[in-house]
Amino acid sequence: SKYRILRPVKLQTQAASLAAQLQKTFNAETSLIKGGGGADFDVYVDGSLIFSKNKEGRFPNEGEVERLIKNQS
């Protein structure tokens, strides 16, 4: 699977941390993609949106993205 994280520059640290966790948990290929504006923080798996900060109005909780991915499988 391919994991993409769309992130604004100010959330680089959080995005890199999440990417590292996804690589470790799922042995996944991840990529960080600079988003537009300041509210973007989206996580995609194989082109499907898994989590959107803009939609949820918050940054994902610890382990939330991993749970969402596992529940989708």
pTM exceeds 0.75: yes
pLDDT of residue 34: 79
| Nearest of 69, 71, 63 to residue 28 by alpha carbon | 69
pLDDT at 37: 63
pLDDT at 7 over 80: no
Cβ-contact 45, 72 below 8 angstroms: yes
Q: pLDDT value at position 56?
A: 94
Query: Is residue 5 over pLDDT 80?
Result: no
The 10 Å Cβ neighbour count of residue 17 is: 11
Q: What is the pLDDT of residues 51-65, one digit of tens each?
A: 999 899 998 999 999
